[in-house]
Structures are given as C-alpha cells and as structure tokens.
Chain A
Amino acid sequence: MKNKWLMFLMGLGMAVVVGFLSHFMFYTTGEDQTLQMHTWLGLTVAAILTLFIYTFLYKDNPLYKFAEHLLVGTSAGYYLVVYYHNSVKPNMIDQIVAGFQQIGQMRAEGTFNFVDGILTNAGIWAIVPGIIGFLILFRLSRKLGWLARYSFGFYIGTAMGMYIPVGFQASIVEQIRGTIVHSAAAEPTPVFNLVYFGEFFSHPTWGGFVQAISGPLIIVGIFCTLIYFFFSKEHTGVFGAFGKVGIWFLMVGFGASFGATVMARISLLIGRMDFLINDWFKGLILPLFGGG
C-alpha cells in the first residue's frame, strides 16, 4: 500500500481527536451551574451524530457509515472495561492478591497450614475462574485450540443445570397453576368459575357474558396452542382443527402485541425529536443567534 503512512497518520489523528473530545469538550457543567462551552459541544456532537444516523432512512451513505463505525468502535470495548472494573478486578485480581498476602502473613507468623491457607482461602479459589477464562485464550493457537472447549463445557453445563429447575418452576409449574386459578387476588379464584355463569344466567348482561366466558376461553386457548405445538402427530381431522384454533389464538396474540408495541416505538422517536428540538436546537443553537 502506498498510502499506508497516510492511513497510519489519519488513524492517529482520529484517535487524538476522539481522545481530545472525550477529555475536554464534554466536560460537564461548571460550579455555577451555567452551561459550559464543553457541554455545548458535547450535545452538538450528539445531535450531529443523531442526524447522521437518520440519513440511513433515505439510503446508505458515508455519513451513516461514519456514525455506524464510530458506534461499533466506541461500544465494542465498553463492556470489557466495565466488566474489568466491576468484576474481574474486585472478584479476581484483588482477591488473589489478598489471598497471597494472607498466606505470606501466615507463613511469617508460622501459622500456615493447608486447610486455612489454601483450602478455605477465597483468594486461592479466585484463581479458578482465571484459569477457566485463560483456557479460552488458547483459541488463538491452532494446536491447543481445543482447550477452550473445557471452558465452554464448564460455562454451558453450569448454565443448563441452573436453567432446568428454574425452567420447571417458572415456565411449567407456575403456568399450570396460572391456568387453574387467578392467583393475583389474596384468595385465588378459579379460572373456570361457575359463579360467573350463575350471575350471567340470573341477570344476563353483556359484561356478565364476557366475564363468564373469559376463563373458559383462556383454557381453550392454552390447550389449542399446546396442540399446535404437537410435533409427533399429524395435524389432520379434529386434532388438526384444534391446532388451527391454536394458530388463531397465536395470531390474535401477535396482533395484539404488535398493536401494543407501536406506542413504545413512537415514544422513542419522540424522545429523539425532543432532544433535537428542545435540548439542542432551542436550547443551544437558537440562543447563539439571540433567539430562544
């Protein structure tokens, strides 16, 4: 590459610019609570990047590409840093250091023994996740890459073991109970409640009818949906018809979810527009020209 050096310089330049911005330009409000130049710049950068992303709605373009790559770059390392500061350092490194200090102290005092010094020493145990984690790094080696599988085995096995009882608890046992009774009230009431039918037949009203059939409808819906998920029987005849009803329930459910979600999505757009119009344009740009 001819322009290798150019690239390197540009990279360095970009790094300096981003680093410089992170240090000075975004430094927050001063002691007197007035808006500082730094915050002004920070919000303006945010607003410009916001506009860059919206250009994607028209079509892919360099502005979007820039924003996209900047986002990927700044966010990719984010969790590494967060996990390091919040977990690896306090739960591993600090503990190991403390553990060895403890051993050193015990040896100096002559009270060192295997049980207290090693077996029940939290610092020594903290090495284990380090080893398991380190095995993953063997993936970089062509020959010893399989060592990483030990870590996967540990991770996946543990997760699966944790999932099984909790899965039964939340997805099966509690759901069966929820199908039998409404337990939100202090005293659980049956889903299939004959009392509602009694009320409806003695005083027939539209509301009473809906209340009476709601419970049985839930039960029918759950059964039909379960039948739809039957894999080992062909969906024909009566069985198929129930499965079909199951699909209908699924579709009504999906439609309802879709409809209920529209609001959430527009809220987000409102939030961004609010930022652009009120926080940025009216709050920061107009005052420059004597407006606002």
Chain B
Amino acid sequence: MYKILNAFLKINRRWIFLLVLLGVLIPLVLGKGLTRSYPGAEVVKVYDFLNNLEEGDIIILSMDYDPATIPELNPMARALLRQCFNKGIRVVSLTLHPAGPGVVITLVDELLREYSQPGVNPDGSVRPVREYGEDIVFLGYKVGTAVNILALGEDVRLSWPQDYAGVELPAYGSDPTQTTLPLMCDVQNYNDVKCVVTISGTRIPEYWVAYGYQRYHVKVATGCTAVMFADFYPYLQTGQMIGLIPGMKGAADYEELINRPARAMVGMLPQSIVHLMIVGFIILGNIAYFIVRRWEKRGGGDR
C-alpha cells in the first residue's frame, strides 16, 4: 500500500497529460456541450450597458489580442459584435496588438458574411443586414499603445488617417454619401462614442483605463482572459471599468445573455470535466501525502 501511494505521489506527469488530453478530446469528438450558463454580475453590467444604447450609437471595439488567445477571446468578440449588429449599434474596431490585424479581419469578415443577407437568428429574432463602412469599420493596427489611445481623444485621424484597407477616412461631419466609410463621418474622438470595449489577454486594458478613462473620461468595458480577470477586479471596483467579461465562462455567459449559444457553450463541458479532474487530483494527492507522511513518522516504511 505504501509503495502504491508513494508511486502515486511521484507519478510521471505524462499520465496526467494523457488524462487531461482525453478529458478534452472525448467530449469534443462527441460534440456535446453544456446547455446553459449562469451569468455573473460583472458580465451582465457590460451587456446591460450595450443593451441600453440606442440604435445608431457608436462604440469603439478594441480587439487587442493575438492569435494565441483566440479560443478564449474570439467567442466574446463574436457575441459582442452580434449584439451590436442585432441592435444597430455601430462599431469602430481597431487593434493595439501588433499581431491583432489578422485576427480581427478574419472575425469581422466572418460576421459580415453572416449578416450579408436578411434572415432570422437562431433564436427567432430578425437578422438585419450590416455592411462594412456603414455599421463597422476596422482601422487596423498602429504602433504605440498609450499614444494611440491619447490620439483617439483628440482625433481618430491623427493615428488612423486611413482604415485597414487603405481607404482615406472622411472628414468629421462631412457628407456621408460621398464616402465608402459613412460611419467615420460621425466619429472624431471619444465625445462621439458611448464607450470603449477592449478585449485583450494583455495589460492593454490598463492603458485604456490610464489614458482613455483617466484623461478623457471615456467609459471602458473589458473582455479579458480568465487569468487577467482577478487583475482587473480593482479597476472594476474603483469604477474605472464599467464591466468585465472574464474568459470562456464570461463568453458563455454572454452567449446566454444574447440568447445565442455558440462555441463558448460547447467548450464549457470539457472545461467542467478537466476542472473536476484537477480538483480530484489535488484532493487524492493530499490524502495520499498525509497517509504516507503519517507512516513515515511512525518509522514505518515498506510494507
């Protein structure tokens, strides 16, 4: 028994790797997912804020993440964009992460394709047609985090004279029929947008708070990886952020809120399995540890 327990404590970590792999692989191969999620208060705050905006209002969506965090952050951005498109909120999207443009283009492209024809959403609501330039604009990436956030407080054209495709932004307040980017006729700086939603796996939301909120008092909502969640909590409490969407759980909550279960919901089943597996490992490991230590203290050993 001692031998078995001791061997368990010193188990080769490859066995743990294998179990984790199976825990994720099996539900995914079978294609099962959780059916519902239980939204947390900090997610509901973001949802409510956007939901209370009027049709035609503008927000800045800053997708400051790289491909490495796609699985966690893309479902979130997708759900947010769907909410905006369904409600008619116009989105100025940009990225402050050097590896961001590829990610954003793929995502925006996917959603614009989804919203290219009038139709019905899976929950039965009407799916309107949304177009690039009219309802969403992607400005691309510019080097320098703080400087671009500050520039947005003065004039978006300081940092982004063109959109990602190289189309010149129209002058603020100019005739929207004369340009392919009518949305940008209404945007000069933070005064024209209702809030900034930054989605990131990095410290960039802190920059948004320090420069966007602190200097220009624009409201900031954050979508972050689960690991940054605890880090941003102080900002939530001091009122520097209006809400937080943490990780895949947050994304699943958001999918629940907009009534459109998607990839985050599917992912929550393997999540639950592996979480419980790790918890089980820790508990068993500690039990074994205490038994072994007790035997060793008694001077026992091999038996």
Q: Which residues of A are interface residues toward B (Cβ below 8 A)?
A: 57-58, 79, 82-83, 86-87, 166, 169-170, 174-175, 177-178, 182-185, 188, 253, 256-257, 260-264, 266-274, 277-278
Contacts and interface: CB of A to CB of B under 8 A. Distances in A.
B172 interface: no
Contact of A174 (B20, B68, B236, B238): B238
Given A257-B227, A263-B275, A274-B263, A269 B98 contact: no
Contact of B226 (A169, A267, A269, A277): A267
B141 interface: yes
A263 B247 contact: yes
Nearest to B241: A184
Interface of B: 14, 17, 20, 24-25, 28-29, 68-72, 98, 141-144, 206, 209-210, 214, 225-227, 229-231, 234, 236-240, 246-249, 263, 267, 270-271, 274-275, 278
A262 B277 CA distance: 11
A86 B210 contact: no
A267 B248 contact: yes
A185 B248 contact: no
A278 B17 CA distance: 22
Contacts of A264: 72, 225-227, 247-248
A87 B142 CA distance: 8
Contacts of B209: 170
A257 B226 CA distance: 9
* Among all A-B residue pairs, the 3 with the closest Cβ atoms: A271-B71, A264-B226, A184-B239
A261 B98 contact: no
Contact of B234 (A175, A256, A269, A271): A175
A177 B237 CA distance: 11
Contacts of B29: 277
A140 B70 CA distance: 40
A185 B239 contact: yes
A262 B279 CA distance: 11
B71 A263 contact: no
Given A79-B98, A170-B206, A263-B249, A272 B234 contact: no
A268 B28 contact: no
B72 A57 contact: no
Q: Is the interface of A mostly helix, strand, loop or mixed?
A: helix
Contact of A270 (B28, B69, B231, B249): B28
Q: Which of A82, A178, A263, A268 has the most CB of B within 10 A?
A: A263
Nearest to B23: A266
Nearest to B18: A57
B270 to A, nearest CB: 6
Q: Which of B14, B231, B263, B267 has the most CB of A within 10 A?
A: B267
A274 B210 contact: no
B202 to A, nearest CB: 13
Given A170-B210, A184-B236, A273-B28, A256 B20 contact: no
Nearest to B214: A169
A266 B274 contact: yes
A171 B13 CA distance: 40
A215 B298 CA distance: 46
Nearest to B267: A270
Contacts of A83: 143
A272 B21 CA distance: 11
B72 A86 contact: no
30 contacts: A57-B14, A58-B14, A82-B98, A83-B143, A166-B210, A169-B210, A170-B214, A175-B234, A183-B239, A184-B237, A185-B239, A257-B230, A260-B230, A260-B246, A262-B275, A263-B226, A263-B271, A266-B271, A266-B275, A267-B72, A267-B226, A268-B71, A270-B28, A270-B71, A272-B71, A273-B25, A273-B28, A274-B263, A277-B29, A278-B28
Contact of A86 (B14, B143, B246): B143
A277 B28 contact: yes
Nearest to A261: B227
A188 B237 CA distance: 10
Contacts of B72: 264, 267-268, 271
Given A83-B143, A170-B206, A274-B28, A267 B238 contact: no
A226 B258 CA distance: 43
Contacts of B238: 174, 177-178, 182-184
B28 A86 contact: no
A170 B240 CA distance: 10
A274 B267 CA distance: 9
Nearest to B98: A82
A134 B142 CA distance: 23
B24 A269 contact: yes
A264 B98 CA distance: 22
B263 A260 contact: no
A263 B73 CA distance: 13
A45 to B, nearest CB: 15
